[in-house]
Structure 1
Amino acid sequence: MTSSTDLAALLCSRLCHDMLSPVGALNNGLELLADESDPAMRQRCLELLEQSARTSASKLKFFRLAYGAAGGFGEAVPSDEPRDLLEALTAENERLTFDWAVSEATLSKPAVKVLLNLAAMGLESLVRGGTLAVGAERQGGATEIAIRASGPKVAFDDTIGQALSGKLDAAQITGRTAPAHMIKLLCDEQGGGVQYANTGEALVLGAVLPDPEGMIG
């Protein structure tokens, strides 16, 4: 089993990898702005800088809830927090449609972490665009989460599926599969479960998590 230290290092590597593009775009934009004298081109540089800054901020907020301790929240997180994060991540891509079907006012921290990570896996699979549908409801003392990614081409890395199923050993866990491995561990620790199905036209990911003691529905 991957140690907590190793898993934290792998998640940090994944975070750095995902932040490289928007932060690099900021750096490139600043260099172009410094050398550009044409007003129209300078305005275009500023627009690109604003877009990269928004993307960077959105991703950092996403990682805070998806990987981190989500400081500032109690046991329950307002459900509009993960909704707003996913809306921000999909807004810049015209080929993506985002559907949110969560009627609960709040979700537990573990449920939010699972929901965001599964939604990220769904987004990554939509290489040619498509629809990301996110749903969750609490009933019978547990939260049920369902993510459906559908589009003209759904590409899902089988090793991520193996990590979700707990079929990878410690040596096979990489920065790419670390989030799935973390979700599997989290679901096991909470006494819940996670599963997925991929048809090539749609990827469906689901999880059930018992609500923490004392959480009010």
Structure 2
Amino acid sequence: MSTSDETPASTIITLEALDLAALIASRVCHDVISPVGAIVNGLEILEDEKDEGMRGFAFDLIKKSAAQASARLQFCRIAFGAAGSAAAMLDLGDAEQVARGFVEDQKTKLTWEAPRQLLPKNMVKLLLNLVLVATATIPRGGVIAVTAIGEGENTEFRLVSNGPSARVPTNVLDLLAGKAPDDRIDAHVIQPYYTGLIARAANMGVTIEAEIEGERIVTIAKRLPA
């Protein structure tokens, strides 16, 4: 599957700018509401609890959740935000840092083999959004290996997701191409749809294939022919 213009124009869904902004904002809120809620819970425990063991647990919860909320906001700032002017160049090293903070946990690990270089903003935003798509291909956790080959605008991205029950989520390929079930886009599916928008803005095509069914999914993004 490719996000190139092989899809008939009549099937492409176009969102109004305000609707797109609202759905992206909803997605960002979804990503940060859980750790923020945990911080609130920890503060409530500190307010009511006298037991030192429980207070220590509350402090640990607040510290961990605050770090998680910060990591998710830093990731979203680049993946979904403006992150500079329209012509901005972004550093793949910074992308690695925010991707690790967002993705890595007890279930999922990230390996990164991308030489540090400045790339056009939309290429870096595309890579980060593809990392998010890759996490959805291994719902039970595993390893996501990110590789960047080449330099400048000719850089090609390759993401390999390894994990039990690896699969390409339903409708992701259509969403990347700008299509959606029942011709409707909501906050649950906005991220892969947005990824397709970024790919087209960067003039890059994206393919996602199951290389080993149930174990490995390969995602490739490379520049489309002129």
Aligned partner letter, 1:148? V
Q: Name the CA distance, whole Å, in 1 between partners of 2:170 and 2:32.
A: 24
Unmatched 5+ residue regions in structure 1? 211-217
Change (3 A) 1:48 1:72: farther
1:6-31 deviations in Å (ceiling 9; x for gaps): 11111111111122211111111111
- 2:124 match: 112
Asked if 2 retains the 8 angstrom alpha-carbon contact of 1:102 and 1:136, the reply is: yes
Are 2:156 and 1:144 equivalent residues in the alignment? yes
Q: Name the CA distance, whole Å, in 2 between partners of 1:54 and 1:105.
A: 27
Q: 2:55 aligns with which of 28, 42, 58?
A: 42
Q: Name the CA distance, whole Å, in 1 between partners of 2:182 and 2:190.
A: 10
Are 2:195 and 1:183 equivalent residues in the alignment? yes
Change (3 A) 1:72 1:81: farther
Offset at residue 169 of structure 1 (A): 7.1
Asked if 2 retains the 8 angstrom alpha-carbon contact of 1:135 and 1:145, the reply is: yes
Three-state SS of the structure 2 residue aligned to 1:204 is strand
Offset at residue 171 of structure 1 (A): 3.6
Offset at residue 208 of structure 1 (A): 1.8
Offset at residue 139 of structure 1 (A): 4.2
Identity %: 32
- 1:17 match: 30
1:92-135 deviations in Å (ceiling 9; x for gaps): x2232211010142222111100111101112332222101111
Are 2:172 and 1:160 equivalent residues in the alignment? yes
Q: Name the CA distance, whole Å, in 2 between partners of 1:51 and 1:72.
A: 33
Aligned partner letter, 1:80? G
Are 2:207 and 1:195 equivalent residues in the alignment? yes
Q: Name the CA distance, whole Å, in 1 between partners of 2:78 and 2:204.
A: 19
Q: TM-score, normalised by structure 2?
A: 0.83
Are 2:225 and 1:208 equivalent residues in the alignment? no
Three-state SS of the structure 2 residue aligned to 1:201 is strand
- 1:83 match: 96
Three-state SS of the structure 2 residue aligned to 1:153 is strand
The 5-angstrom pairing of residues 88-103 of structure 1 reads 88-91=101-104, 93-103=105-115
- 1:213 match: none
Asked if 2 retains the 8 angstrom alpha-carbon contact of 1:137 and 1:144, the reply is: yes
Q: Name the CA distance, whole Å, in 2 between partners of 1:7 and 1:206.
A: 25
Asked if 2 retains the 8 angstrom alpha-carbon contact of 1:77 and 1:109, the reply is: yes
Q: How many residues align?
A: 209
Q: Name the CA distance, whole Å, in 1 between partners of 2:41 and 2:195.
A: 35
- 2:46 match: 33
Q: Name the CA distance, whole Å, in 2 between partners of 1:49 and 1:124.
A: 27
Q: Name the CA distance, whole Å, in 2 between partners of 1:46 and 1:147.
A: 37
Unmatched 5+ residue regions in structure 2? 1-13
1:52-104 deviations in Å (ceiling 9; x for gaps): 0001000001110000111389722122111111221234x223221101014
* Structure having greater relative contact order (Cα 8 Å, sep ≥ 6): 2
Change (3 A) 1:62 1:140: closer
Three-state SS of the structure 2 residue aligned to 1:70 is coil
Asked if 1 retains the 8 angstrom alpha-carbon contact of 2:119 and 2:153, the reply is: no
